[in-house]
Amino acid sequence: MQSGISVSSELHDAFNRFSSDSSAFCLPVTISSESLTPLDSISFSSSSSPSDAFFSSLPQLSSTLQPKTPIYLLLRRPTSASSSLVALTYIPSNAPVRSKTLFASTRATLVRELGAEKFASTAFATEEDEVVGQDAWRERDGGVPELMGDKERELEAVRRAEAEARNGTPSRDIGIGGTFTRGLGPGSGSGMKVSMPVDDAAKTALKEIQEGGLVQLTIDIPTETIKLVDSQSGVDAAAVATHISPSSPRYSFYHYPSSDVVVFVYTCPSGSSIKERMLHASSRRNAITVGEQEGLKISKKIEASGPDEITGERLHEEVHPPQDQGPSRGFARPRRPGR
């Protein structure tokens, strides 16, 4: 996954100075104006001896860390012979989803463009103590915390974003051009206020959906807009899966025949990019609200990793559940075919 962000000339210059200055402990790096840019470097603690300079200087990093702001820290670790450099990515667990995505997707670019051969290792942290705590660094030295590689760390960020989306937190930054908040007054639909742009074609298709109609939406990442992908009429329940992409996330609205029920189906294939998965997962509730604002009665919701899980039988079960299962089951994860 790549973000399109690149290293600025200012960072190249600052990194060259940092690399050649043995008294420099840390070079913080952020993303500004679509570029990786340096912040003021931090020197080793003046009272530090060469043997414990790194650990005694760690508390200084607290001043550069913010509870909701990701940052990169390029660190120098003195050794008996010379020193080595570590590229640490700090992405707080409660940072906005868009920031998480941007910094996670730019992590490899930072190291690659500065010269991967110049870094002895990389590290990833989501809590302040994982940055300034001596125990965390000693565990890294023992090979414990970096059990997950870059891809696994990014996938873990996706899972967190998906969990946040399922739980739904009021007034949380959704990371794509706005926030959503709980509506308090009557007539507020689902109780969410959507600030992400939605194109007119998507609104029209949702408003005009009839029995057997299937409307599919997605997020156009470059324009940060919910857009219409496809609109079909007269779709049999058993054929819904054939219209849904097996490679890209989709928000699908299916008006089940001979009923007033619209089933919302969220599919997010494992083969889609990390960025796609994070943005679609965090905006799923917004998509539902868009449909409800266009007058749809969305009482059934299904979540699946791919269209092969959306069978005619599964859709029928959602709309006409067996009596002993009760009415709605919220976001239902369908059984895989053959199970």
**What string of pLDDT tens digits covers the 339 residues of the chain?**
455 689 999 999 999 999 999 899 999 999 998 899 999 999 998 765 665 889 999 999 999 999 899 999 999 998 766 778 999 999 988 888 778 888 888 888 999 999 999 998 888 888 899 999 998 898 887 643 343 455 555 555 655 555 555 554 433 333 323 333 333 333 333 333 335 789 999 999 999 999 999 999 999 888 878 999 999 999 999 999 999 998 899 999 999 999 999 999 999 887 777 778 877 887 888 899 999 999 998 989 998 888 988 999 999 988 988 765 455 555 555 555 544
In whole angstroms, give the CA distance from residue 183 to residue 121: 47
Residues in the chain, total: 339
Burial of 242 (0-12, 13-18, 19+ CB in 10 A): exposed
Query: 99 with 69: CB under 8 angstroms?
Result: yes
In whole angstroms, give the CA distance from residue 21 to residue 80: 17
Residues in CB range of 255: below 8 A, 6 or more apart: 209, 210, 211, 212, 213, 214, 261, 262
pTM for the model stands at 0.49
Domains of the chain, start order: 6-147 (3.40.20.10), 189-332 (3.40.20.10)
Residue with the two structure tokens 């200012």: 10
Question: What dihedral do alpha carbons 139, 140, 144, 148 form, nearest 10°?
Answer: 150
